Amino acid sequence: MQFLDFVKVMLKSFVLPRANKLILLLSLGFGWGATGFAQTNIPAKTEPGLVVTFTTPEGGQAKAADVVTAPNVWLYVPAGKPATPFLPGGKFEATWEGFINAERRADYQFQAELSGGLKLEINGAVALAATGNGAATELGKPVRLNRGLNVFKASFTSPTNGDAFVRLEWKPKDSFVQLIPTDALARAAEAPNLAQAEKLHQGRALFVDYRCVKCHAGPAPESGMLELTMDAPAFAGIGTRRNYEWLARWIADPKALRPTAHMPQVLHGPKAKAEAEAIAAYLASLELKSAKGAAGTLLNVEYEGSSGPANTTLAENSSLAAGGRELAETLHCAACHNLPGATEMDAAKIPLLHVREKFADGALIGFLMKPDAHYAWIRMPNFKLSEDEANRLAAYLLAAADKPKSASATQDVAVLERGKKLVQTSGCLNCHVLKLENQFATKRLADLTGANWKQGCLAAAHGETSKAPNFNFTAEEREALAAFGATDRASLMRQVPAEFAERQTHELNCRECHGKFDGFPSFDILGGKLRPEWSRAFIDGEIKWKPRPWLEARMPAFALPQRAEGIAQGLAMSHGYPPQTPVEPAIDAEAAKVGQKLISMVGGFSCVSCHAVGEFGATQVFDSAGINFARTGSRLMKPYVERWVRNPQSVDPTTKMPVYFDETGKSPLGDVYGGDGAKQIDAIWEYIRLGDKMPPPPTP
Amino acid sequence: MQIVGGRNRRAPGKLAILNTVRVLLALALAAGIVCGPGLHAAEAKKGQAEDLDQNFPFQTACIGTQFPAGNVAYKGIAIKLGNDAYMCFDTDLLRMAAGWTGDYLKFDGVAFSGAHGTHPSIAGDQKFGTKQLPGVADASGSFTDPRPEPFGPIPAATGRWDGLYPYGNKVVLAYTVGGTKVLEMPGSTVADGLTAFVRNFKTEKTKSAFALMICGVEGATGELNGNTAVLSGSGNNSVTLVGLAGAPRGVKLEIADGNQVVLKVPQDAAAATFKVVIWNGTPEEKSKFAGLLAGDAEVADVKHPGPNHWPETVVTQGVLDANSAPDGSYTVDQLPPPVDNPWHRRIRFSGFDFFADGKRAAVCTWDGDIWIVSGIDDTLQNLTWKRFASGQYETLGLKIVNDVIYTSGRDQITRYHDFNNDGEADYYENFNNQVTSSDGFHEFVFDLQTDPDGNFWFAKAGPVRPGGRGFAGPNAGTISADAGSMLKLSKDGSKLEVYATGFRAPNGIGVGPHGEITSGDNEGSWVVQCPINWVRKGGFYGVKDTAHLNPIPQRDPPLCWLDWTETDNSSGGQVWVTSDKWGPYKGEMLHLSYGKCALYLVLKEEVGGVMQGGVVRIPATFTSSAMRGRFNAKDGQLYIVGLQGWQTTAVKLAGFDRVRYTGKPVHSVKGLHITKESIQLTFTEPLDPSSANDVENYSSKRWNYVAKGDNYGANEISVVSPTKRGRDVVNITAASLSPDGRTVTLKIEDLKPVQQMSIKYTLKAKDGVEMSQDVQFTINKLP
């Protein structure tokens, strides 16, 4: 089967709706896996990562397939759960294809921690073939890698019972078994069948991102993708928080104010402007009657209404503003925003020059202090600002912002009534919550057939007479939504944490700080590092201490329990680890005692030079403080600790932590466990597991 | 390991009778622990603060006092006087900075407790003090400070610190004032329940008049009553009395500036031994002062040394072939340090040298001890350690010239004399103390070497701030004249000069056979990575704070940079291979990494007047860090000592190792030559052509560094696109082996000057031995 034929088959399967059938139906006999990705030629251009093809047996000979990219041969799929949203749960196969890059000609051996079957082929030769039941496999035979790219293919079959997982590792000659560095793996830049699959993923993501299901009712939101529950800013009391004039312009054309806005242009035609003003006037009339009662969850209710400092007062306080500017830098606000005075405006970032027009007097401070007060899924995180900090930031932003136009909302009852009616009938209430009867209705998702996915909201052009909201989708986005619409949309009901985490961390711009700033842990290692339980609590803002107190920046709270949990678990699973830390044996007190000595300056590695142990301060910190050991056991996965202690620079090339063990794992401390490095690291781990109860190390 | 009493030596393997109860206790503690060769079971008992307060009459350090305000003895000798009384002598200012009773010292500071930003200080109750001004008057009789900055010694014409004689539980201080030799033995006396401080002087016939500052009390009024000065009325119900006893004619006490007591000595005063007694107490006790003046002044006869302080020796057995290079060419023998010693002295080796017989070496420690080890032979089975000297100020360098030991410390270059040849120093002579020193904890004086003309060389660190960023300031000290400099001292010790500047923490230098001067440094503020500096006179080596130059010039290019992740994060010294018996490297330079505990062969060449090159590791694993190295002229082998601290991979407090050449062929690159378009690597052994000609067996990367200013270290940036972080892959387009099989020419695409480049390879030699090496280098200039 040639590739074009394959595409045709795929497309055909999209346009013919088939109840209870999966999206992609392919004939196994034509052997997609066998020829579709047979990359015998080294491409001129490569991208990082590998192409992964997932397939599930679909009765007889047919297979359903999905194609994604992944950074490494890491995977974790709980028993019975789908490996990707486009496949049903249960048995599956996964094939990673691409290239493995060697700096120079050398021999390597491969090994996997595995539950399932794995066959690894390099340059067409089998490098590892093993079935694992959860433990590490034997090392494969040495394979010679040529300098540069070597053809790489790893095929995984899920186990009959239990969770499926794989974590592939390699052992360079004369060294130890370690993770394959992600930058050693590459895939061809052009992979057409991938592009088509990515289109489906994109369509599905757009579908939830733009809240399509809020109008086109579909599956019960609680049982499918978490994003089906995504909200929009609540209307209650919005008149106290937003300025009328800005509301009117926003409602008329959100994208004109913010190119990345998700809210559609709902009003069209000659009356649109007046209608927008009517809606705005109505919304502006929705004031908080009792700040305390209506916003009981707010941290600082006094600023919710107009009792806080007026915008003008703050904007004119230049010393506050100067402090705010400094704080904005410290907090890396520029990761997501175009800060005032920025020389280059990034279209993907949110501008800030409108804040004075947008926020009612006093409301910006309230927003900064609790951005999610009225909008749970807001992307802006909570920086746990003190009131003083919020004042400074607000002063800085307001001082630089454009001055509001002094239009005030009409009090004309007829206009307000008209605005109210429009809110009830235009679909506003499908996304925005307000205690008000919603009189808008449209087709249910199940009733949207092929042709529907090119009309209405998805029409190429929205004329003056259009009734459908205009999301300003690009042609590419419309195509993606159409492709997704042509599937059975069962994927909406499949919450796959790894994929959720990938999408959400992208939405939340995690990589704009992690990996870009000195001293921040790189985002790409987090899933294989942090215990998902701790990671969840940290993302959700529950952890009250800073792991790295020396950093001026702070990790904000992306407080939304289900999202935090999904990200935390998904990150772990995308690195091949389970969504919950497996039950661990009781702490080995004897080993912990040895560990206590090993971290000390008395016959140990002198870890305490840089690491504190609870109240026991680090002894010789020279620009390289380490994290307090008492706060390590609850944070880190054990395999990560092993990797880190064994060779810290293999995890973080910028760390000052020394390497103590030689390539064979021998420790320079020959008098503890006969110099067995692995046992010594185990002992340190047992000691660290004591957490708050760690006894202080011996001192010289 | 055994601890053997000096007079009760037994055969190795049997426990000797020990002459102190303390040692028995230590051994009893250690007995439960299996202690193999080279292992230090009792290490856990070492170094506690009380152990630092050794059974020895003095310790030199920067000593903090309680008054007068700002009174710190930058080079202070804290002397035990008996009767729980102590005085601190300041060798820069030739003054008794303070006297106190009760507890001795708080052993704070980087050497003793590890703490940054502090130094030792008086632990008891201070009874008297002097201002931080010269303790001897100049020719005009003035005590004002003539120095351009308050660091370093006062002019020698006014007063010169000569040295110190330990004598039993006393010390005798020696100095010259206005040409007159003065010996002073500090002491204490108790009478009628009162304790007083005694300054016993022994003077020759005075060549000129001079005056010594004894003490002063802020706010007090002084009055003279015969030979007794009384300072009272300072308002805290305290009175200070100073009495003079046994003085020759014309010698007297005077009150200066109303509340300072000065000892005046006229010209031609007769040679004499006399004393000044200082007491502080309540006015009610004043009447008992006369009793404190009783008895004759006493200064020990320094020409006849007292009893040996440390008759015991410690015997350790060496470990041969503790580890070897993969090709067997070099092997490491360990010389276990005397960790279990009767005095619980902490052993952290910081400098060493061999005596002419090659069987003995002197080794100094950071805590200020010098040990002499004998029994250095093929077997190392009877290494006998004798403690030779103690109480020194962070001795981090040692050199032996004509079998006489010299050390470098924060305070001075010291020359040691053993008058009675009993294996213990009887006179710690100030060879030169012109080096400046403030109260910064990080002003280490590193290493001690001599050049072919006999001049001495050492380096002084900059006053890094606690936490590592930036220099000088509160708790960090002052950038004094010599801070962050390479220093040259004339052969006779008379003249110290700053040779080059801009260093941060050059923990180790090198002096080549033709007087080549080199240093490493420690990555940190303004030091983007560890360099190997090829130091020229007047050169500037990167740290703006310690440039001492205006305007600050461009940094001299280093011979090479060393990547801290793989090669060196904290340099030790350099050693030149002077031996014919150490394989194929005679005439080459070696570099030691303190941080990575590693030994490197330096590959260097001169291109257009600029030295450049790189390093390749010589496989050897050391007991502790690799900080100082020397060749033993007798056996022709390389010896390395080092200690543990900060971010080093060392896990033992101290190590002393021998890197011995076994005679087997060495498989390594030994030459690096840059041409316009290629890099030539020359090897010690012929290579297998099929392996050497395969270009896929080589890989190369390159990158530059951008400093993080005051912050530690640097970011690595691309050479091709400098706005990008990280390293560029370098394209090696061809590899060809020379007809003699020893030189590989690697053709490099777009070869250009770069701060850091590495070439890694796994190659087969003609004899079948495989070698994996990483050559890391700097290209300052293309030819």
Of the candidates B595, B581, B528, the one whose C-alpha atom is nearest the C-alpha of residue B557 is: B528
A32 — pLDDT class (breaks 50, 70, 90): very low
Is-contact A155 A95, C-beta < 8 A?
yes
| pLDDT at residue B27 greater than cutoff 80 | no
What is the total residue count of chain B?
A: 783
| pLDDT at residue B258 greater than cutoff 70 | yes
| A530 or A658, greater pLDDT | A530
Is-contact B370 B398, C-beta < 8 A?
yes
How many CB atoms neighbour CB A438 within 10 A?
Answer: 14
E strand map for B568-697: 571-576, 589-593, 598-607, 610-618, 628-631, 638-643, 654-661, 669-674, 678-683
Residue B687, classed as helix, strand or coil, is: strand
Q: From CA B424, how far away is CA B310, in angstroms rounded?
A: 8
Give the tens place of pLDDT for each residue, B727-773. Answer: 999 999 999 999 999 999 999 999 999 999 999 999 999 999 999 99
The encoded tokens of residue A206 equal: 């757009």
Nearest CA in chain B to A671: B39
Residue window 118-177, chain A: list those with CB within 8 Å of chain B: 146-148, 173-174
Q: From CA A599, how far away is CA A619, in angstroms rounded?
A: 12
Distance from CA of A660 to the nearest CA of B (A): 6
Q: Does A671 touch chain B (CB under 8 A)?
A: yes
CA angle B235, B241, B242 (to 5 degrees): 140
pLDDT given at position B39 = 27
Least confident of A503-507, A606-610, B258-262, B630-634: A606-610
In sequence order, which residues have a C-beta less than 8 Å from that of residue A410 and are 6 or more positions away?
A277, A281, A416
Q: What is the pTM of this model?
A: 0.88
The answer to whether B40 contacts A603, with C-beta atoms less than 8 Å apart, is yes
DSSP A42: P
Q: From CA A236, how far away is CA B582, in angstroms rounded?
A: 85
CA dihedral over B16, B19, B22, B25, signed as positive or negative: positive
Is-contact A555 A567, C-beta < 8 A?
no
Residues of chain B neighbouring A669 (CB-CB closer than 8 A): 651
* A589-693 homologous superfamily: Cytochrome c-like domain (1.10.760.10)
b (16+ CB within 10 A) / e for B250-261? ebbbebbeebbb
| pLDDT at residue A627 greater than cutoff 70 | yes
DSSP string, A317-363: -HHHHHHHHHHHHHTTGGGTEE-TT-SS--TTSEE-TTHHHHBPTTH
Q: From CA B437, how far away is CA B482, in angstroms rounded?
A: 8
According to the CATH classification, is domain A3-191 in 2.60.120.1560?
Answer: yes
pLDDT given at position B51 = 58
Does the interface ipTM go beyond 0.90? no
The domain locations on chain B are 52-292, 347-658, 669-779
Tell which CATH architecture fits domain B669-779.
Sandwich (2.60)
DSSP string, A166-181: EEEEEEETTS--EEPP
| Range B365-384 average pLDDT | 98
How many CB atoms neighbour CB B8 within 10 A?
Answer: 12
Is-contact A468 A456, C-beta < 8 A?
yes
Q: Does A692 touch chain B (CB under 8 A)?
A: no
* Secondary structure in 3-state letters for B134-156: CCECCCCCCCCCCCCCCCCCCCC
Is-contact B461 B446, C-beta < 8 A?
yes
Q: How many helices, marked H, and strands, marked E, lie in chain A?
A: 23, 15
CA angle B346, B352, B355 (to 5 degrees): 125
Q: Does A649 touch chain B (CB under 8 A)?
A: yes
Of the candidates B389, B403, B393, B469, the one whose C-alpha atom is nearest the C-alpha of residue B437 is: B393
How many angstroms separate the first and last alpha carbons of chain A? 73
Q: Does B644 touch chain A (CB under 8 A)?
A: yes
pLDDT given at position A15 = 38
**CATH class (in words) of the domain with range B52-292:** mainly beta
Q: From CA B643, how far away is CA B348, in angstroms rounded?
A: 5
Q: How many helices, marked H, and strands, marked E, lie in chain B?
A: 4, 54
Q: Does A622 touch chain B (CB under 8 A)?
A: yes
DSSP B294: -
DSSP string, B696-753: GGEEEEEEEEEE-TTSSSEEEE-SSSTTSBS-EEP-EEEEEE-TTSSEEEEEETT---
B139 — pLDDT class (breaks 50, 70, 90): confident
Q: Does B710 touch chain A (CB under 8 A)?
A: no
Of the candidates B498, B499, B502, the one whose C-alpha atom is nearest the C-alpha of residue B462 is: B502
Distance from CA of A531 to the nearest CA of B (A): 28
The answer to whether A609 contacts B646, with C-beta atoms less than 8 Å apart, is yes
Least confident of A551-555, B84-88, B375-379, B695-699: A551-555
Distance from CA of B76 to the nearest CA of A (A): 25
**Interface mutation vs chain A, best among B108, B465, B565, B651, most A CBs within 10 Å:** B651
DSSP A405: P
Nearest by CB: B760 against A103, A602, A670:
A103
Matching residue, tokens 């932590």: A657
pLDDT given at position B279 = 98
Least confident of A461-465, A521-525, B532-536, B598-602: A461-465
Give the tens place of pLDDT for each residue, B446-485. Answer: 999 999 999 999 999 999 998 888 999 999 999 999 999 9
Q: From CA B428, how far away is CA B405, in angstroms rounded?
A: 10
The Cβ-side half-sphere exposure at B128, using a 13 Å CA radius, reads: 33
Least confident of A664-668, B324-328, B399-403: A664-668
Residue A564, classed as helix, strand or coil, is: helix
Of the candidates B206, B178, B136, B173, the one whose C-alpha atom is nearest the C-alpha of residue B429 is: B173
Q: Give chain A's radius of gyration (CA, Å).
A: 28
pLDDT given at position B743 = 98
pLDDT given at position B31 = 33
| pLDDT at residue A491 greater than cutoff 90 | yes
Q: From CA B53, how far away is CA B47, in angstroms rounded?
A: 10
A308 — pLDDT class (breaks 50, 70, 90): low
**Under CATH, which number does the domain B347-658 receive?**
2.120.10.30
Residues of chain B neighbouring A656 (CB-CB closer than 8 A): 569, 647, 712
| pLDDT at residue A82 greater than cutoff 80 | yes
Q: Give chain B's radius of gyration (CA, Å).
A: 29
Q: Does A670 touch chain B (CB under 8 A)?
A: yes
Nearest CA in chain A to B700: A103
**Interface mutation vs chain B, best among A622, A649, A666, most B CBs within 10 Å:** A622
Q: From CA B59, how far away is CA B411, in angstroms rounded?
A: 12
Nearest by CB: B565 against A624, A649, A699:
A649
